[in-house]
Amino acid sequence: MPLVPLAPVLEHAAKNRYAVGAFNVINLDFAEAILETATRLRSPVILSIAELHFPYVNLENICPSLRDMAARADVPVVLNLDHGKSLESLARAIDNGFTAVMIDGSALDFEDNVKLTSEIVAYAGPKGVGVEAELGCVLGHESKVGEGEANPDLFTNVDLAKEFVQRTKVNALAVSVGNAHGRYKREPKLDFDRIEQLAKATQIPLVLHGGSGLPDDALRTAIQLGICKLNYYTEMAMAAFGTIKDTLANAAPTYGPGHSDYPILFKAVKDRVGEEVASRMNVYGSAGKA
């Protein structure tokens, strides 16, 4: 089916108490692995491209393929811009067919975040494009494999979140509740009480960034309390990198050091990424919901 908007996908997730995985795409191998797994498991899915990956992923080249792949899939597929920083980058994404955008104004003060987010909603909403924003600060380096650690002083304030949603009219809100981007420096602990309070105060789907490395039981609890979208990239990237190293090491005795058979290498990466995606969809509860 054609790419679908963000709002109805997350509304269905909220109503049925599951979360939709937002998996970062860095090439067509990742996209194929994600979409083939979503189709096999009958799961709605969000394909994300992060603004920080623009130097490596040319939107004008890859988006026609992603739109075509989604049209041939028989599950709901959202194409999402992850951590957009400006109207210019979001406009570029929308021009290339994205059906959702995230504006990340979390580094701004509250009023500036409200102003920027409201401008994006006013631009994207009439085009049928859903908008996610972020309030509070999720530390770590999004879209890169690094280490992150949550700071309770930067957790999302419940009262401010309610005001933010009322003033901006966003479709979804990314929150800081003990999550961080990249690998966690120590075992993360999510603030479940805050998640529940945020869900009740905002009455919109909540988003958890930094899904890699969070315990499965913690994720399941967070989903029951109101998390409807989970971003996932770091462990996919780590799995892909590990597969490349293992495949090359295993090929060396047969073909000699430094030799690699590209098709075998790429298929190994694709298969491993598909395994990661399947694992997450089962934990998130989205399998069978398409």
- Rounded CA-CA distance 194/190 in Å is 9
108: its two tokens: 């701004």
- Among the listed residues 68, 74, 82, 246, the single catalytic one is 82
Residue 199 sits at the vertex; the CA angle it makes with 194 and 201, to the nearest 5 degrees, is: 90
In DSSP terms, 172 is beta-bridged to 132
Residues 22-47, buried b or exposed e (16+ Cβ, 10 A)? bbbbbeebbbbbbbbbbbebebbbbb
246 an active-site residue? no
With CA atoms as reference, report the closest residue to 223 among 280, 171, 180: 280
CA R_g for the chain: 18
Q: Two tokens at 111? A: 């009023």
List the beta bridge partners of residue 84: 103
Euclidean distance between the first and final Cα of the chain, in Å?
Answer: 12
Name the residue type at position 77. Answer: V
Are 50 and 25 in contact, with CB atoms under 8 Å apart? no
* Cα gap 194→156, rounded to integer Å: 8
Q: Which two tokens stand for residue 56?
A: 């490596």
Catalytic residues: 82
